[in-house]
């Protein structure tokens, strides 16, 4: 959707045309849902968060000034909604999300390329689950920066604006989050051998 049409749609919604909002939902449901899914670690919460975020966006649309892109404005809502929810659930229970929802995740990680052999598909699926567990093992703040970059493709500048962080902070958080995720994947045996050589020769440099 081009920016101009997007702005027209937003104006329409602000004028009271509720239905125009559904075009925005259709356009952004994938980045919104995927961010929520990786943040929350399970499909059910992700759907709730996605829904809640869109409704929040609808209700506060008049505060969208168009200085940032609509997508990054929307993703900020998603991120904050996730962080709020994670803080709440942290108070409720201490069980790790990754363990709790392991079964659910096996279905939710769709792998688009069906030209692969069953073995390859299984491998990918296991890897995808492992990646999800690795992401869940990151702290929510680290998770958010990494996901906005990796899943939503935002620039450091946009991520900084989205989360209210300095660009330098974004940069170092992404690097750390990435490294932690890699270390998790290596422990989990889900990074190819050649990448994991790092384990042996890198220990004392950290």
Partner 1 sequence: MKDCQYYIELISAELDGEATQEQRSELAAHLEGCAYCRGIYEMLHGCTALLDETVAEPPESLCENVMGEIRRAELRKKRGRRSIIALAACAAIVIIGGVSIMGTWRAGRSDAAVYSMERAVSESAVEEVCEIAAAPAAACAPEPESEEDFDAGSRSYEYELSEESVPQERAAGAYMQNYSDDLARQCTEIYLADDEILAYISEKETSLPETATLYAKMYIPQNNEYLSVLLYLDGEEAYCENANKICKIVGLNASDIFYFVEMHSFSQ
Residue given tokens 């209210």 in the structure block:
164
Scanning residues 18 to 47, which ones bind partner 1 (CB under 8 A)?
Answer: 18-23, 25-26, 29-30, 32-34, 37, 43, 47
- Per-residue buried b or exposed e for 123-152, using 16+ beta carbons within 10 Å of the residue's own CB: eebebbbbbbbbbbbbebbbbbbbbbbbbb
Stretch that binds partner 1, among 66-74, 82-90, 95-103, 179-187 (CB under 8 A): 179-187
Closest contact distance (angstroms) between CB of 194 and partner 1 is 7
Give the residue carrying structure tokens 């996901």: 147
CB 148 within 8 A of CB 159: yes
When asked if residue 137 is in the footprint of partner 1 (CB under 8 A), the reply is no
Query: Is residue 189 a contact residue for partner 1 (CB under 8 A)?
Result: no
122 binds partner 1 (CB under 8 A): no
Chain positions contacting partner 1, by CB under 8 A: 4-5, 8, 12, 17-23, 25-26, 29-30, 32-34, 37, 43, 47, 50-51, 54-55, 58, 108-112, 124, 127-128, 131-132, 149-151, 155-156, 171-172, 174-175, 178-179, 181-182, 185-186, 190-192, 194-198, 201-202, 205-206
């Amino acid at each position: 959707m081009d920016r101009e049409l997007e702005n027209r749609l937003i104006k329409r919604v602000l004028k009271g045309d509720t239905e125009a909002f559904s075009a925005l939902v259709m356009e952004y449901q994938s980045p919104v849902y995927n961010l929520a899914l990786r943040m929350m670690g399970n499909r059910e919460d992700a759907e709730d968060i996605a829904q809640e975020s869109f409704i929040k966006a609808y209700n506060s649309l008049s505060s969208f000034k168009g200085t940032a892109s609509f997508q990054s404005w929307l993703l900020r809502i998603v991120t904050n909604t996730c962080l709020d929810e994670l803080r709440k659930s942290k108070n409720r229970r201490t069980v790790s999300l990754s363990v709790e929802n392991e079964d659910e995740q096996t279905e939710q990680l769709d792998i688009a390329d069906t030209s692969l052999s069953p073995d390859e598909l299984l491998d990918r699926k296991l890897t995808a689950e492992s990646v999800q567990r690795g992401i869940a093992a990151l702290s929510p703040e680290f998770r958010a920066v990494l996901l906005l970059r990796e899943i939503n493709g935002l620039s450091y500048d946009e991520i900084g604006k989205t989360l209210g962080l300095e660009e330098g902070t974004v940069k170092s958080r992404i690097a750390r989050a990435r490294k932690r995720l890699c270390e998790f994947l290596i422990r989990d045996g889900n990074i190819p051998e050649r990448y994991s050589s790092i384990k042996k020769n890198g220990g004392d440099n950290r």
